[in-house]
Structure 1
Amino acid sequence: MSKYVKELVTRDLKRRFDGVSDAVLVSYTGMDANTTNELRGELSEKNIQMMVVKNSLARRATEGSSLSPAFDDTRGQVAVMWGADDFVSLVKEVVRLDKDSEKYEEFTATGGVMDGERLDSEGVKAISKWPSREEQVSMLVGQILSPGANLSGALLGPGRTLNSQIKSKGEGDES
């Protein structure tokens, strides 16, 4: 590849990675074209982008960015995945595809980068066990609403007890 072409590809990669701060690296060497297209279709439904890059060009394109550590010790050709609603959702999807050994045997998560720190394959699997953004929001809403629900129960409980006693006393007088 000539120096001019490398510069063009590097510039294009910089443009594509603009605004991407977290990504997962995967290897899918040996996967046939039909399976790859099916994989890309599944990913696009979840707003996940996947791009195959040559490591040396990706290193040049991400130099000085938060994605740079992801390409430090990689060799050969890898696919970079980014997108989804949040990084944890992306990692959960990658790990799910990695475990789906029947359909995507050659697909394996090799690492990634989160908040400028390099992740190995074990780090990616550990992050997949974290709650996603939606789960975190629902837990937070539950924590915010629980004191009010407890207070409401504490205030209404004695009133209900008194109401039932008055009602039973009133029914007892009629007989």
Structure 2
Amino acid sequence: MSKYVKELVTRDIKRRLEGVEDAVVVSCVGMDANTTNELRGELEKKDIHMLVVKNTLARRATEGSQIHGAFEGAAGQVSVCWGASDFVSLVKEIVKLDKDKEKYEKFVAGGGVMDGEKLDAEGLKAVSKWPNREEQISMLVGQILGPGSQLSAALLGPGKMLNSQIKKKGEGDE
């Protein structure tokens, strides 16, 4: 590849990855075209983007960015995945696809970058066990509403008991 073509490809990669702060690097080497298209379609449904790049060009394109560390130690052709509603959702989906060796035998999660920190494959598996954004919001709402519902029950409980006793007393006099 000529120097001019490398520069064009590097600029294109840099443009596509502009603004990406968290990403996962995977290997799809050896996958046939049909399987790769099926994989891309599955990722696209979850708003996950996948870009296949040569590691040296990716390193050059991401120089100075937060995701540069993801390509350290990578060899050959790699795919970088980013997107989804949050990083944990992205990692959960990538790890799930990595475990599905029946369908995507050649798909291997290699590592990634979260908040500028490099993650290895084991780090990705650990992150995949975290609650995603929606789960965190529901836990937070539960924690916020919990004391209020307990207070409401404490206030309404005796009132209902008193009401039922008055009602029974009223029905007994008739």
Report what 1:162 is aligned to.
162
Report what 2:97 is aligned to.
97
Hey, what's the Cα distance between the residues in 2 that align with 1:104 and 1:145?
Answer: 43
Report what 2:112 is aligned to.
112
Normalized against structure 2, the TM-score is what?
0.97
- Deviation of 1:72 after TM superposition, in Å, equals 1.2
Cα deviations by residue, 1:81-128 (Å, 9 ceiling, x for unpaired): 000111100001001111111111111101000000100000001000
CA RMSD of aligned residues (A): 0.8
Hey, what's the Cα distance between the residues in 1 that align with 2:121 and 2:5?
Answer: 32
Normalized against structure 1, the TM-score is what?
0.97
SS at match of 2:24: strand
Q: How many pairs were matched up?
A: 174
- Deviation of 1:173 after TM superposition, in Å, equals 2.2
Hey, what's the Cα distance between the residues in 2 that align with 1:171 and 1:132?
Answer: 55
SS at match of 1:101: coil
Report what 1:151 is aligned to.
151
Report what 1:23 is aligned to.
23
Report what 1:80 is aligned to.
80
SS at match of 1:11: helix
The one-letter code of the counterpart of 1:132 is N
Hey, what's the Cα distance between the residues in 2 that align with 1:37 and 1:51?
Answer: 12
Q: Which structure 1 segments of 5+ residues have no match? A: none
- Deviation of 1:167 after TM superposition, in Å, equals 1.3
SS at match of 1:21: coil
Report what 2:126 is aligned to.
126
SS at match of 2:66: coil
What percent identity do the matched residue pairs reach? 75
Cα deviations by residue, 1:7-31 (Å, 9 ceiling, x for unpaired): 1111111100101000001111111
The answer to whether the aligner puts 1:2 opposite 2:14 as a matched pair is no
